[in-house]
Structure 1
Amino acid sequence: MTLFYIVLATTAGGLLSVVIAASLTLSLLGRVVRHLVSLSVGVLLGTALLHVLPEAFESSVPPQRLFVTLLVGLLFFFLLEKAELYRHGHHHEGDGHHHHHHFDAEQAGRGGWSVLVGDSIHNFCDGIIIAAAFLADTRLGLVTSLAIIAHEIPQEVGDYIVLLNAGFSRGKALLYNALSGLSSVVGGVLGYFIVGPWEALFPYLLVAASSSFVYVAVADLLPQLQRRLPWRSTMAQLAWIGAGLAVVVLARSLLHEH
């Protein structure tokens, strides 16, 4: 059953992003992505700081080792993004980032394949993280999957918008996103068979997962929300972040009741 849960969870994010992208217009997708980015911040930080890290620190591993793992994880994801192998773009033309016209078309035209390769590696890492969480505890796996799906959807929808602006057809853009999402399934299945026998590594893997969540939220998502906005828009951002935190707290309480 654990392997089934892993495959189901790793498939969910990619499928949801494709369904959402296929069912909405480009302008509506842009507005949805903005709200989902704020929601993702709350879900990622809530999962990392309120659920996954406490679970790891309840183990017998000395806290200093886990803090070192957290530090190394943050630096690792920083370097991976520097190499353009771990990106999480959610921008689109007209999003207020002040890119010049046809910015997305130029970016996708020059580096479309690197974007797809980078997202595939990102999704593959997410699959391993989900596998490690489910192997440690089913409830932890469910909450971790929720966090990954929450940031997977705006990531994939954002890439879909970039590909459309670059001139890709809707069908081809959706196909590329779906194929990229399948790499998380590969990572999850490999993680199940490779990580499973090494139970002593689970606390370290959970901290590594948390470093990924914190890095994505703090280094990528929050800066997108920092530009000057009317107070109502700022309050809306805070509300969506709060909703993300509430989802994590509610999910945790519901899972612990069963």
Structure 2
Amino acid sequence: MSTLLLIVIFTAIGGILSVLTAGVFLLLPEQKRQNLLPHGISFAIGALLTGAFCGLIPHAFEEVAEGEMQMLSATILIGILFFFILEKLLVWRHCHSHACEAHGEDSHDHHAGHQHQQNDHGRRVAGMFIILGDSIHNFVDGVLIGAAFLTDPQLGMVTSLAVAAHEIPQEVGDFAILLHSGYSRGKALLYNVLASLTTVIGGVLAYFSLGDLRHILPYFLTLAASSFIYIAVADLIPSLHRKTDIKTSLEQIGFILAGVGLILLMQTIAHRFES
């Protein structure tokens, strides 16, 4: 199977199927969703961190000369700072609807009818931010998956699986914000599917633009690793600290280890498949 076809298939898996899975998830009763979502977040943490530390970073260091290792390590730090600044400035992944509404309320007069219109406008803006931010995020994910496949098909498969693992709980949150913003279920699903197509576009673009620039691929791998680390540590792990009882903590650890185990199993299977 050609590398380009693999990139298209696995970027679609990481993008479109995660949206559809999140859409099906929203059909479950509210209480069931509330019970399952934290487990998905815990699982995604394990998958992301394992993909970064046991997949992307080791492969990146294998591809460079010893003299470049310090620069490659610095790229991880720069990447984490970059994603922090980008999230701060553009609110590109998690524009919390209450925060957006609060901003809208503070900046307008307090007339009841006018305030209601501004709140509706604020929710629509929040929905537009989610769609735009998701498109940018998915495009970057596609580029990183494509770079991973150009380095090693096994690494590409593991990277796409880690992307899908964190995309599903994120897409559930995005769906919730779009529905709160006044979008129908059908439109919310359509816009999320369209945004997910940018993953495929990013992967294909990486194939054609990075194929002859293999010397910079290790830097894309470390950028992907910094993205995974940032998402896990800054976005996902803090949400697990909201509950500290023993039962919940053990469940969180169990699902994190399940995410770790799945990525390691995927690496083993992919390695045997290549052999």
TM-score, structure 1 as length reference: 0.89
Cα distance in structure 1, aligned partners of 2:18 and 2:122 = 21
Q: Which has the larger radius of gyration?
A: 2
Q: Deviations over 1:103-142 (max 9, x none)?
A: x988643422112111110000000000000000100100
**Are the counterparts in 2 of residues 85 and 121 from structure 1 also a CA contact under 8 Å?**
no
Residue 80 in structure 1 maps to residue 71 in structure 2 = no
Note the 1:1-258 alignment, pairs <5 A.
1-23=2-24, 24-25=27-28, 27=30, 28-61=32-65, 62-84=68-90, 86-88=92-94, 108-258=123-273
Cα distance in structure 2, aligned partners of 1:105 and 1:157 = 21
Percent identity between the aligned chains? 46
**Are the counterparts in 2 of residues 14 and 153 from structure 1 also a CA contact under 8 Å?**
no
SS of residue matched to 1:83: helix
**Are the counterparts in 1 of residues 23 and 172 from structure 2 also a CA contact under 8 Å?**
no
TM-score, structure 2 as length reference: 0.84
Deviation (angstroms), 1:234: 1.2
Deviation (angstroms), 1:26: 5.3
Cα distance in structure 1, aligned partners of 2:122 and 2:168 = 21
Q: Deviations over 1:206-256 (max 9, x none)?
A: 111100100110011111111133211111111110000001111112222
Indicate the RMSD between aligned Cα atoms, in angstroms. 2.1
Range moving further from structure 2, 58-67 or 21-30:
21-30
Amino acid aligned to 1:159: D
Give aligned pairs, total. Answer: 247
- Normalized per residue, the structure richer in helix is 2
**Are the counterparts in 2 of residues 88 and 119 from structure 1 also a CA contact under 8 Å?**
no
Amino acid aligned to 1:78: F
Cα distance in structure 2, aligned partners of 1:40 and 1:140 = 17
Amino acid aligned to 1:84: L
Cα distance in structure 1, aligned partners of 2:43 and 2:97 = 18
Range moving further from structure 2, 40-49 or 244-253:
244-253
Cα distance in structure 2, aligned partners of 1:88 and 1:16 = 20
SS of residue matched to 2:203: helix
Q: Which runs of 5+ in 1 are unaligned?
A: 94-103
Deviation (angstroms), 1:88: 4.8
